A and B are shown apart, each in its own frame.
Chain A
């Protein structure tokens, strides 16, 4: 954590060694296995990884939304301005949810109750944190919020049901709901995944504006590196329930220091290079019995004997970069692993 060089201000959120397991019929799934990450006030941190890498579970743990059972947060601390969210319960927890930390869900189709008008649902988010807020005042504020997120004809839209909203409009409404109480931390869980490609760009724009206006730090969970490049300041790459690489967005794209990140970057379709799409061979690890050593070794083109036995720890590389690969130095020298050019040629 030498990236503190940018300022001595303590981070807004810091997760230390988070461990989350899920009990399933097939056995214990180690969904999150010792994740540490920090978010400073106002920055956008992208958490990237395949499905099942533990990124959503990490986000859910922050808000205490992991359902127990089957989920268990086994270990670790989640500190919001020094307050451990794992020990917070009851009224204080409900205060933090929404007012300090808000969440934007992946699928706006299901994250809104179909039988309550959109306006009322946003108004409820407000009234949960301000019991004295009158109906009329709440309405005025909601209409204002809807305008802010670019919902046209907000007055009419207030009284409409979710099914009368398009997907993009619904996601806008969800964003309005999330920023309603002016949170310090926004968690956006795959905010554009469920949307049409044409709408995605608009919603990303909106997220950026919303973030700028509210100055809320943002955790952006996604598997879409395009979204990352668009929005993030810093990137945390997760694989098999662990953080495998962390870096600023530019350095990461310029020179990944973990073979998994390199694979992810190489598998982004690029319009400027024709040729076959590169993919990472194999499939995500079985989290009930994770592979020995480095969880990525069965799929890693750089894997050697050491990787099978010895699990690499997340090491500080300086300049705010961290990587969990024994051979990260080789990547620093720029040996391309999954080169699109190579595959084309």
Chain B
């Protein structure tokens, strides 16, 4: 409680909303700020992929396969003579897109299920939470392989599959927040003026859950990017010729490539690592910002 006491503005001081105080705390977290800048650069690079690389990511050049970095191809070419830099940047769009989309999906599902579960209680709660247990106890990669096998590999299927396995985390979190919020007298007061369950979720529960959920969501993005890379590497994610960081790594399965052609695997590998790391640091910073202790 002392933190609240310290943060309460002195009389006459400029009023600070809780949001602004959180931003200030986030900015004090150096790694998170650096990570945010790095991530921003990665996003910008992916958005302006064409302008930066100057190459078509799918244009093959069979006379220049697996050439090393040069003035024309900054990161060399791959086994069919495609520009690695162009592929790397375009792959960034796919990987980041899949990561964010899957995380958003999982958080959306988790928030709806978790809040209704906590608010309604009883059998709704029981069913939802057992379902969450089921999803959390399944080996996700194996099930994703099966899903890809049954309905065929596609970006949409992958986003849904990742989201499906991630929602229990935010779902449980939101349920917990709901359980504590619903006992608050202001919720009773809102009921007493005629608020229904959906109103309570929208006006009182989601705002209360948003800070911790944003942390979970950030971590979910990192996980989703990792899962996307895994699945694409295994050949059941993003399908060629479309590039993703995962399927670019597929090219690097031979020892020769690993030993002698680092431009083929180092950039996508680093891209995944740096992105996931940056997102995780941002998550850390967010956690400190929204949950000062």
Contact = CB atoms under 8 A, between A and B. Distances in A.
Interface of A: 63, 65, 94-99, 102-103, 105, 107, 110-116, 121, 124-125, 128-129, 163-164, 174, 177-178, 180-181
A101 to B, nearest CB: 8
20 contacts: A63-B191, A65-B188, A65-B191, A65-B192, A94-B196, A96-B194, A97-B193, A99-B194, A103-B192, A105-B188, A105-B189, A107-B185, A111-B188, A112-B186, A112-B189, A124-B190, A125-B193, A129-B194, A163-B8, A177-B193
Contacts of B8: 163
Contact of A97 (B18, B192, B203, B204): B192
B204 A113 contact: yes
Which of A99, A112, A181 is packed against the most chain B CB atoms within 10 Å? A112
A219 B70 CA distance: 85
B184 interface: yes
Contacts of B15: 164
A95 B184 contact: no
Interface size class of B (residues with CB under 8 A): 20 to 34
A113 B186 contact: yes
A105 B185 contact: yes
A230 B173 CA distance: 48
Q: Is the interface of B mostly helix, strand, loop or mixed?
A: helix
B48 interface: no
B194 A111 contact: no
A95 B203 contact: no
Contacts of A174: 189
A124 B8 CA distance: 26
A98 B194 contact: yes
A155 to B, nearest CB: 15
A239 to B, nearest CB: 25
Nearest to B186: A113
Given A107-B185, A163-B8, A95 B194 contact: yes
Nearest to B187: A113
A63 B192 CA distance: 7
B270 interface: no
B11 to A, nearest CB: 10
B71 interface: no
A71 to B, nearest CB: 13
Contact of B203 (A98, A110, A111, A116): A116
